[in-house]
Amino acid sequence: MAVSLRSDAGADPFGERCGQHLHVRRQLLGGRFRFESTSEALMQLVESAYAGLPPQQLPMAGPEFRIELRLLPHRQRAEHAEPPPVQTQSGAGLLSGVMDGSNYVVLSPALRRGLVVASQDMLSHPYHLRYELIEFAAFTLAARGMGLVPLHGACVGRQGRGILLLGGSGSGKSTLAMHGLLQGMEFLSEDAVFVQPESLLATGVANYLHVQDDALRFIEDGATRHWIGRSPVIRRRSGVEKFEADLRLGHGLLADRPLQLVGAVFVSSEPAEDPAALLSPIRAEDIAARLRSDQPYAATQPGWHRFGQRLAHVGVHELRRGRHPRDSVDALQSLLA
């Protein structure tokens, strides 16, 4: 793990022994992040999430954010029990995400600072710890600190131009993003996309690809099937299990800069009536309501109204399924053209 070291003196107020203090800087979502901790295990999770990513620099230099990670002693919990879901609260200029009294995040967007606290037993749940606490801290600070609209979606593109992929859980966004990657498209993100509302520049973190086992049957290349099929399996809160394939291992082209959105697509799990006509435009008067319904959290954030206006201007479509995922990728390519 490539981290810098410095020595701390004094006692840690959360009870962890202060020894070597680790810190690492990463360029994420157009901002600069400094992660620091006395726990090598927590810093390994930071590295597993953010090492080796394209810089994704926005036109204007982003601010620096600092996130401290603290590890508490083991707490009593049934062995292998799934951690409780995160509950969010806000007030007095602070945001928090709390699993329990030993696993939580506290953020100050105004100060660009965050604190992630985790107990030793959470290290046996690395996906939940990384995704629901560490990424929650980084993503929230970036969105609030740089005025980005945070979206649950995916984004792929070509030559700096991008298509935003939206739709409910199980609609096929991740599978479509995967096939776009395998067919030479630039891959920005498959789970969370952050957009400047005025410019429609989209950024994301292209670290992992999450796909279910049944998606592998459409992959014709044996090496790619092997790469994904040998990846660790994570379990979503919904109970769905997915492969978590590391995109930084060289399988495809990761977007090295933010993508300029030229449209958005609502991915549908319904088959197209006409296999030759997968795309259908959404009426301009229906776009705002459709976006709000699909993105209830983002719709409460600053910049949402302008984002919706700009996205409606470039165009929003619905994409139904064809006979093969490559047909859907071809439809996306037509929008990028």
pLDDT tens digits along 146-187? 999 999 999 999 999 999 999 988 888 999 999 999 999 999
Q: How does DSSP assign 21-80, residue by residue?
A: EEEEEEEETTEEEEEEES-HHHHHHHHHHHTT------SSPP-EEEEEEEEEPP----TT
Maximum pairwise Cα distance, the chain: 69
**What digits encode the pLDDT tens for the residues 186-236?**
999 999 999 999 999 999 999 999 999 998 999 988 999 999 999 999 999
- Residue 150: beta bridge partners? 194
In the chain (337 residues long), the average pLDDT of successive 10-residue segments reads 42 43 93 96 96 88 93 74 92 96 97 97 95 97 96 96 93 92 95 96 95 91 92 91 92 93 95 89 95 96 96 96 91 93
Rg (Cα) of the chain, in Å, rounded? 20
Contacts of 303 (CB under 8 A, 6+ apart): 147, 148, 149, 197, 198
Closest alpha carbon to 46 in 176, 258, 205: 205
In degrees and rounded to multiples of 5, residue 22 shows phi and psi of -95, 145
CA angle at 213 for the pair 291 and 215, rounded to the nearest 5°: 55
> What residues does each domain of the chain span?
4-146, 150-336
| Structure letter (DSSP) for residue 130 | I
Amino acid at 227: W
CA-closest candidate to residue 176, choices 202, 154, 207: 154
Q: Out of 1.20.1550, 3.90.550, 3.40.50, 3.20.20, which CATH number does the structure's domain 150-336 have?
A: 3.40.50
Please report the pLDDT score of residue 13 as a whole number. 36
Closest CA to 207 of 302, 127, 326: 127
Question: CA-CA distance, 38 to 305, in Å (whole number)?
Answer: 42
Q: Residue 36: beta bridge partners?
A: 23, 68
Contacts of 337 (CB under 8 A, 6+ apart): none
